[in-house]
Amino acid sequence: MNQQQLIDKLLQHDARISQAGIRVLLQKIDLMSKDIRGAFENWLEYGQMPDITIEGFTIENLTKSYNLSTIAAFLTLDYLRRKPEEAILSLKMGYDRVHVK
């Protein structure tokens, strides 16, 4: 998926995302591990939820238990893969939102 397609799909899922928010999301998506990025793009394109568990967390668990958007849940799964201890601590402390001004 090219950058413009990615922007279009992100805005289809949440039209409230600002231009600054799009830039931040694109940077974070570019850094995603290959399998999570592929699952993310598949979800954006077809709405299929992946069966990925990292450190005991899934997309469904993160959206329901932590009230994250699906986009934020994918970013959090990637964070859990890259820096598991830091990500788990952030979730426990309630730092599970991405705020962009």
pLDDT one-digit tens code per residue, 27-61: 999 999 999 999 999 999 999 999 999 999 999 99
pTM beyond 0.95: the answer is no
pLDDT one-digit tens code per residue, 57-75: 999 999 999 889 999 999 9
Longest dimension (CA), the chain: 35
Residue 58 and residue 64: Cα distance in Å, rounded? Answer: 10
Share of the chain above pLDDT 90, in %: 63
What does DSSP assign to residue 56?
T
Decide: helix, strand or coil at residue 67: coil
Where do the domains of the chain lie?
3-93
Of the pLDDT bands very low, low, confident and very high (cuts 50, 70, 90), residue 95 is low
